[in-house]
Chain A
């Protein structure tokens, strides 16, 4: 009798486990995407000029457009969306680009780009200074604060699990990876260039060659406590005090599908997009 109960319980647990694994597997599915060969290096300027319509894909569930291309030297990535809250989150906490040359979803090597709309534009987007302190500063002090905020952003951080410390680089490509932000027609556009192979000049590269299958993950929003602290120090505190993990987030609520303002807009939940791709070969042009 007891044995039968235990067996029944075990079967139920197994069923639950299988279901959980199935849900997990389907929800974390890596999508496959084509990478296009480019004969000329792509200018990392946040402009769409070098991205033909066939070289990008639109991820409807997230509302994100992604473009991938490569030459012999670099992998070029285009990342576009129109969500203001995401742009703000990236300006504060960055967007992390994970690169796995084994084609899996390892987060061993990546670059985090912190950049986006300038503070003056962010304020137009409704970022509050909080508490009335900023408003009390004299115009000259406010200018000092703005200058400090301008210089604090727009940088690349190399995340290498083999290294104990994070390396900060200028986003102009002088250290290897390059990144740039632009917002043409109100669409937030981020462009990246990542060296395929390490060289004598820089050691931050994917470690892959044309034809190889790699995985690429983009992660943004849902900042952790440390990042929030850094971001607040940079932005001058306040920020409306979004709670850790936001206020529910998820799909826009309401009968009419209206998005919610307030804390949802200020602290969007973490988003992640993974794609698997085969780096293009010259012959594939």
Chain B
């Protein structure tokens, strides 16, 4: 067989294309979707039926977005471009980690009950607590999503004005929040994995963690007064997308089991 043959060139081309694809494909800052099977029905009509505890329900209705950040391999071409001022986080990573909890009626009721029991509320206190909570978040008119955002990158990534936030159902209907309530407390924390006295001076670096907590309030009914989350809806997707770069996005999905 001769050293140069078309077959060899063809295989080399296929190999090179594959390598190029592998290095380019994962380099956009889209984090893989986080998916949670919930249900059977969102916004259950009879909240008293559930026997699940608040922590269990909380876990069931919580999805994590942006957790699957790229590891930032230097040979990924996207990283090289991003280092020169690309979008998303430095190195092209999705810059946020987000936990989002869809506040189903059952979950809200369980939470109210949980705290009432913890604090040993009197019946009057309990009624007042319930009333204050439901009124504050206007749970009757809003689909509520509790969000916690974290970043070890610059604090500006937490600026919600940089992000297009919306929910989307299986029929591609999209809704933006009508209200975002900032629930953050002014906290500063740092992350350092090593005891500094055992590290050389130049490695004594501690990363600051910036965080934001907010309640996203989406409309419960569309413009035609139809419920946004009818029993027909198969899933609901929460999307965080950088306003000037649609590739930098993360999604969390709640799939409603029938």
Same complex for A and B? Answer yes
A contact residues vs B (CB 8 Å cutoff): 58, 60, 63-65, 80-85, 123-126, 128, 130-137, 141, 144-145, 148, 187, 228-229, 232-233, 236-238, 240-241, 243, 247-248, 252-256, 258-265
Among A58, A84, A261, A264, max chain B CB count under 10 A is at: A261
CB of B98 within 8 A of chain A?
yes
CB of B72 within 8 A of chain A?
yes
Residues of chain B with a CB closer than 8 A to A145's CB: 115, 118-119
Query: Is the CB–CB distance between B55 and A263 below 8 Å?
Result: no
Q: A145-B119, A254-B71, A263-B97 are in contact. Are A130 and B146 (CB under 8 A)?
A: yes
Query: Is the CB–CB distance between A132 and B133 below 8 Å?
Result: yes
Q: A229-B53, A253-B69, A255-B74 are in contact. Are A240 and B133 (CB under 8 A)?
A: no
Bound CA span A253–B97, Å? 13
Query: Is the CB–CB distance between B146 and A136 below 8 Å?
Result: no
CB of B224 within 8 A of chain A?
no
Interface size of B in residues (CB-CB distance below 8 Å): 68
Q: Which residue of B lies closest to A258 (CB)?
A: B152
Residues of chain A with a CB closer than 8 A to B187's CB: 123-126
Query: Is the CB–CB distance between B185 and A237 below 8 Å?
Result: no
Residues of chain B with a CB closer than 8 A to A124's CB: 187-189
Residues of chain A with a CB closer than 8 A to B146's CB: 130-132
Query: Is the CB–CB distance between A259 and B152 below 8 Å?
Result: yes
Query: Is the CB–CB distance between A126 and B115 below 8 Å?
Result: no
A270 to chain B, nearest CB (A): 16
What are 13 A-to-B residue pairs whose CB atoms are below 8 Å?
A: A131-B58, A132-B137, A132-B181, A137-B115, A228-B55, A247-B67, A253-B71, A258-B152, A258-B153, A258-B207, A261-B150, A261-B210, A263-B99
Interface residues of B in 119-152 (CB under 8 A from A): 119-121, 125, 129, 132-133, 136-137, 146, 148-152
Q: A63-B194, A137-B115 are in contact. Are A262 and B97 (CB under 8 A)?
A: yes
B contact residues vs A (CB 8 Å cutoff): 53-56, 58-59, 62, 64, 66-69, 71-72, 74, 79, 90-91, 93, 96-99, 101, 103, 107-108, 111-112, 114-115, 118-121, 125, 129, 132-133, 136-137, 146, 148-153, 181, 183, 185, 187-196, 198, 207, 209-211, 213, 215
Q: A126-B209, A134-B115, A247-B64 are in contact. Are A240 and B99 (CB under 8 A)?
A: yes
Bound CA span A226–B79, Å? 42
Residues of chain A with a CB closer than 8 A to B68's CB: 248
Query: Is the CB–CB distance between B55 and A260 below 8 Å?
Result: no
Bound CA span A126–B184, Å? 9
Query: Is the CB–CB distance between A240 and B148 below 8 Å?
Result: yes
Query: Is the CB–CB distance between B72 and A255 below 8 Å?
Result: yes
Of B120, B185, B194, the residue contacting A82 (CB under 8 A) is B194
Residues of chain B with a CB closer than 8 A to A130's CB: 58, 101, 146, 148
